Amino acid sequence: MTDWDDGRTPPPADRPPSMGRLVEQLSEQATRLVRAEIALAKAEVAERAKRSAIGIGLAVVAAVIVLYAVGILLWAAVFGLAEAWPLWLSALVIGVVLMLAAGALAFVGLKVLQRAATKPETIDRVKDDVAAVKEGMHR
């Protein structure tokens, strides 16, 4: 017989899962989801830390270039007043070029830091997941 009208208990594979088993599966899946979200958040934080390090490195390089540029500009001012025009002009041009390079590096470094400082999307997703699970348990 293929149907179970004769009063026998169907085998376990044919029965729907019990409420306890469904709650157990929900718990396992929620745990897996939370762990996956935590792993994603860790990866996002690591990426932001990497971008922050690059931005800080560029800012440090810009600061060193500014120090050299100030030295060259001071040297240019001293020799420009004491010597003939060509030495002064060449030193001034080098100083200005270094200052422009430092400004460009500082600008890029600050932009990288600003992008790295944004809030990771994973935090919002985890909050949404927790809210959905809480809402589902209250129903």
Contacts by 10-16 with C-beta closer than 8 Å and gap 24+?
none
Q: Phi first, then psi: what are they for 11, rounded to 5°?
A: -65, 160
pLDDT range class, residue 13, cuts 50, 70, 90: low
Comparison of pLDDT for 31 and 118, the residue scoring more: 31
Confidence at 85, pLDDT banded by 50, 70, 90? low
Per DSSP, the three-state class of 126 is: helix
Q: pLDDT confidence of 61, banded at 50, 70, 90? A: very high
- Least Cα distance to 24 among 15, 14, 35, 32 occurs for 32
Environment class of 105 (CB within 10 Å of its CB; exposed 0-12, middle 13-18, buried 19+): buried
* Rounded Cα distance, 91 and 73, in Å: 7
**Position 1 confidence tier, pLDDT thresholds 50, 70, 90:** very low
| Residue 25 pLDDT > 50 | yes
Burial of 121 per CB tally in 10 Å (0-12, 13-18, 19+): exposed
91 within 8 A of 72, measured Cβ to Cβ: yes
Max CA pair span of the chain: 116
Confidence of residue 58 (pLDDT cuts 50, 70, 90): very high
pTM score, whole prediction: 0.40
Domain parsing of the chain, residue ranges = 20-84, 86-138
